[in-house]
Structure 1
Amino acid sequence: MTENQMCPSHVSSTASSILSKVGFEVYPFKIGWYNEQVQKVFALPYPEDTLAFIVISTPEMFEKAFKPFICRQACTGVRDPIDECMMHQFSLIKQEFPEGEAETIHDFELHPNRRPKVLVQTAGHVAGAAYYYQASDVKGNPWGDKKIYGVSVHPKYGGWFALRGVIIFRNVLHPDLPRKDPPDVVSTSSLRKELLDRYNNNWQDWSFRDVVPVALKYSEEQKLYFLTPPKDRKELIMKIIKQEKFI
């Protein structure tokens, strides 16, 4: 691969062209932007101008990527089929570049001590993909000492999306990458409190996902899949595969 093919614009267009057609979006960021926002134990060991991307799955991923994937694969491994599908999609990016140039870290990857290898919500925020709302974004600390988990909201999909991981290009530096703030679509303190209350207290009803109007949300089939306990998804997967074969 030539030096021109490893230039930031080519890397970005290649990653986007591969993933966008199957229901994903990619947003570039510099490793330094991420590292300055996280504790030292979560910092990624690359120069600050190293180019990386956060990958999100849109509501279309289920139809465009997941269902075709499970129809092609046996999905008999130990991982959840969604995780297997994400590993497959990320591998397609790695194959487009020389071995070792692109490193992928999935949202489900952990160190031996169970610490996440990457904080995808922070990566999504610094990349301008989705605003990561935390307790500190609400005035007056209404929760006191209670632990409140943050949640990301996408300007188009609200909460109907997922941050799937990052792709890091070890030898691609992009010092001039313009920084874009994530759209602050939950703009009032009262609505932010409502969002975080919904997410922390009633996340199972998914109402936090509709905290703002959305352009697209999960299909009923996709909702059913994610509401089904992982141990019970095999039967549902077999039903999907059978249906797809008759379409």
Structure 2
Amino acid sequence: MYQWSPSKVGWYNAVLDPVFHLSYPDDTLAFLVLSTPSMFEKAFKPFLMEQKLQNLRDPIDQCVSHHMTLAKELFPSHQMDVIYDYELHPNRRPKVLMQTAAHVSGAAYYYQRKDVPDDPWGKKKMFGVCIHPQYGGWFAMRAVLVFSDVRAPDLEQVVPIDCIPSREDRISLLEHFNFNWRDGKYRDVLPAEERYSEDQTL
């Protein structure tokens, strides 16, 4: 349903320009939260049933927010800050770069142009994409939870699994994602243990 991958804020800040840094000490404990394909049936549909008479703006975002609120209630003695994937600063800059957070936590490998030696794209701008070793592209990064009062100096970093090792497959992945992302073919860059249902894909 949800997968939680621990990290330290310092790992995230270390690979980004200062303008993107999170304002916490480096050893602050954080979790990247992603939703697996089963989230739709196990969490989203029940949430819709509970909220059937209420006005829903963005049902998926509200469902995730509901579950993050429940998560916070499990740790009443700690200060937990939740940063959602859709949150922006007033200047429209994302509050957190989810794909970077996923990579540094070891949750999913963030494939970027720099991962393709002698790339063929010239001056074209190419966006990167995260691929999960179990779910391929059939998942979503939903939030970063920061335990602002918890330090984890001994937490060891998990290296994300490079599940697309060949140059040719990386080129194919990035081209599918950048040029034809709507058809979803990039999600099937590797055999996934679980995929979105037809309803969820629609």
Distance in 2 separating the partners of 1:151 and 1:166 = 18
- Once residues 43 and 186 of structure 2 are traced to their aligned partners in structure 1, the CA distance between those partners, rounded to angstroms, is 25
- Pick the structure with greater CA Rg: 1
The Cα of 1:141 is off from its aligned counterpart by 2.5
Q: Distance in 1 between matches of 2:184 and 2:63?
A: 23
Structure 1 segments, 4+ long, off by >3 Å, are none
Q: Partner residue of 2:69?
A: 91
Contact 1:75 1:81 in 2 (8 A): no
The answer to whether the aligner puts 1:29 opposite 2:37 as a matched pair is: no
Task: Map Cα deviations across residues 140-194 of structure 1 (whole Å, 9 max, x no partner).
Answer: 0311111101000000000000010100001110111011110000001111010
Q: Point out the structure with the larger helix share.
A: 1
* 2:194 corresponds to which of 216, 236, 243: 216
**TM-score normalised per structure 1:** 0.79
> 1:213 deviation in Å?
1.0
Distance in 1, matches of 2:98 and 2:143, equals 6
Question: Where does the alignment leave 5 or more consecutive residues of structure 2 unmatched?
Answer: none
Once the 2 structures are TM-superposed, how far is the Cα of residue 215 of structure 1 from its aligned partner? 0.6
CA distance in 1, matches of 2:185, 2:16: 29
In the TM superposition, 1:55-66 aligns within 5 A as: 55-66=33-44
How many angstroms apart in 1 are the aligned matches of 2:142 and 2:179?
23
Determine helix, strand or coil for the equivalent of 2:136.
coil
Is this contact kept in 1: 2:78–2:149, CA < 8 A? no
The answer for the alignment partner of 2:135 in structure 1 is: 157
> What residue in structure 2 maps to residue 175 of structure 1?
153
Q: What are the ranges of 5 or more consecutive residues in structure 1 without an aligned counterpart?
A: 1-22, 225-247
In structure 2, the CA distance between the partners of 1:100 and 1:117, relative to structure 1 (3 Å rule), is: farther
Question: How far 1:93 moved relative to its partner?
Answer: 1.3
CA RMSD of aligned residues (A): 1.1
AA at the equivalent of 1:50: T
**Higher-RCO chain (CA-CA 8 Å, sequence separation at least 6):** 2
In structure 1, the residue matched to 2:55 is 76
Q: How many residues in Structure 1 have an aligned counterpart in Structure 2?
A: 201
Q: Aligned partner of 1:96: which letter?
A: L
Q: Where do residues 98-247 of structure 1 align in structure 2 (5 Å cutoff)?
A: 98=76, 101-224=79-202
TM-score normalized with structure 2 length: 0.97
Deviation at 1:100? Answer: 6.7
Change (3 A) 1:157 1:76: same
